[in-house]
Structure 1
Amino acid sequence: MLTKKSNALFLLSLFCGLLTAAQNPAANTTLPRPKLVVGIVIDQMRWDYLYRYYDRFGTGGFKR
């Protein structure tokens, strides 16, 4: 009995999820591809330094 209820609940939630995803017009639009993607790697820089030195970043640089 429990498996029938859980299967029915799963199928209902799957159906509702697919229904709402199909009706979302923003998900169907494509964005223009960027001309250039830049990845920056700084050796020996820990992730917490980004928060520690955040106030020293320039407005036109990493702070935006």
Structure 2
Amino acid sequence: MALIMSGIMSMVISLFNIGWVDNILAIWLKAWMLAFLVAFPTITVVVPVVRYLVSFIVASDKNS
């Protein structure tokens, strides 16, 4: 998930900021590496928190 999302988002943001230039592939790959280095640890931390919150909300909804 982190790999695909960081790849898509880095390409969109790169194209939005600089447009379609000659070396867009090199620029995008550099941006993708950085984005993945941020995305993977973020997902590792955030997913368990979100799962807990969802289970808490669903469980409290069943008790109502």
The structure where helix makes up a greater share of residues is 2
- The alignment's TM-score, normalised by the length of structure 2, stands at 0.39
Which of 1 and 2 has higher RCO (CA within 8 Å, sep 6+)? 2
Q: Which has the larger radius of gyration?
A: 1
- The alignment's TM-score, normalised by the length of structure 1, stands at 0.39
